[in-house]
A and B are shown apart, each in its own frame.
Chain A
């Protein structure tokens, strides 16, 4: 028996979320009294380093070509079966969501998604997940012999690394019986952290008055090392790309720090961001509903407050 972590890569490098799945699989394996193992496709990073997150053995499949969710899923499930895994841990990234549902059927397993906590109990296995767009939690009990747990990116901190190295074994890519999907073009913004994985997010709304004022937002984000996001009206008006829209019909995020500037805090926006660890709201309207969901608030004009905050952050960083 074992618990298998799926290690996602981008251009060969392990994604940050992969250390989260490794650490989560290690925790679940320990609770079940078994070992954590991992599977990775197309890695150039050394899989042995996953030992630092409690992984004992890594199945490495090379030359898998372009992402094809069937090929990937079948290869992951092959590793799980080879290792007699009881469960698979994946991350709720866009890549993970291409795989979770397929894997649940191919691995004949219970699937629980949107997890941001360690299991509530292990016998029986009960896991708490976020639901109702962050307005509630539901505890699910696994009823099948096998399980797949999908954890929210950034939702669970990665515990301190231990000095250990994982055994690495080669695994064949399972490429037969997969639909012929031809990838034509991949357009990825270089050097930018995907929003769901960002630890800090600076987000702005209609209060910025015009897209040309976004330099204030980008300057603050850069000073912090944060990603930028926006409210739904701003993306609907085309001021910012859809991929930056956080909220109910956009992306749900849970960064360590979320700074909302000129966003009133409609219930649909809160649905996508209320799981953030700390929330700062800057708004001219003291009655903005967002202040009720915030940890820290400033009633003030963004055009005055934001540049001063950027300078104060820079000064703080310089003194570190």
Chain B
């Protein structure tokens, strides 16, 4: 079984987000980057499939050379090899197109991605990738077992969960639940040493038409002061919520 895990290279969860002075781009200055947290759940599940069911795990990122430390970290966690598609990603369609091309050339049985990246929160790539390949697509996946040529999946639905069986190959967009937070794999020293000599192949992008263009970046307006209410005067809070905030 060949598993491909899509890895986004994103600002650390605690990073302060700033934009360039012309408000045309995200300002990467002073920001440290990590594996997208949603992708980590999928990567850990893939490494589990490698350990228990003999899968080989490839990780892929669409990005410039600066994303390689993130891919090396994924190798240290346990992926067998990595592919970097050498391009500055412009939008979800561009990224999906690149990964679809890679998948068509390599016969993967399963592709796992995060349900969204924590930078652009697009929730676009896995679904687009599925449609480009005509493969089944399961979003917000919180449970994944592989049995021969099919996958048993649990996905989050509005207000509940749905269990289904999908034929492989398939695209899974995962989140917490695919593995538990406490079971997330953290690279150990041996993994980090091994990662240095694992293959990281760089390939060039294919053409994709520009579907959307980011034209302006802006931070939310700063929040006003918090109005403090005495703990023995909750009636005042109810009054403010009703008359001032008009939310109850």
Contact = CB atoms under 8 A, between A and B. Distances in A.
B131 A105 contact: yes
Contact of B139 (A97, A299, A304): A97
Q: Which of under 10, 10 to 19, 20 to 34, or 35 or more describes the interface residues of B?
A: 35 or more
A30 interface: no
Interface string A282-311: 000000000111111111110011001100
A143 B211 contact: yes
B122 interface: yes
A53 B214 CA distance: 30
A142 interface: yes
Contact of B127 (A98, A110, A137, A183): A98
Q: Which of under 10, 10 to 19, 20 to 34, or 35 or more describes the interface residues of A?
A: 35 or more
Contacts of B223: 292-295
A295 B226 contact: yes
A183 to B, nearest CB: 5
Nearest to B171: A101
B112 interface: no
Nearest to B19: A136
A141 B212 contact: yes
Interface stretch (A32-40, A88-96, A155-163, A203-211): A88-96
A294 B240 CA distance: 14
A84 B235 CA distance: 55
Contacts, number: 276
Contacts of A70: 136
Contact of B162 (A140, A183, A245, A257): A183
Contacts of B123: 92, 97, 100-101, 113-114, 150
B228 A97 contact: no
Interface string A254-268: 001100000000011
A39 to B, nearest CB: 18
Nearest to A282: B231
Given A250-B176, A277-B247, A298-B228, A236 B182 contact: yes
A97 B140 contact: yes
12 contacts: A94-B139, A104-B131, A106-B131, A111-B128, A114-B122, A131-B121, A136-B219, A181-B136, A197-B158, A249-B175, A256-B247, A297-B227
Interface of A: 10, 15, 67, 69-70, 73, 92-95, 97-106, 109-114, 126, 130-144, 150, 177, 179-189, 192-197, 200, 224, 232, 236, 242-243, 245, 248-250, 252, 256-257, 267-268, 271, 274, 277-278, 280-281, 291-301, 304-305, 308-309, 312-313, 315-316
Given A140-B214, A179-B136, A181-B136, 6 more contacts: A139-B215, A139-B217, A179-B166, A243-B161, A305-B231, A309-B237
Interface of B: 11, 13-14, 17, 19, 26, 37-38, 91-93, 96, 115, 118-132, 134-137, 139-140, 142, 152, 155-167, 170, 175-177, 180-182, 209-220, 223-224, 226-232, 234-235, 237-238, 240-242, 245, 247-248
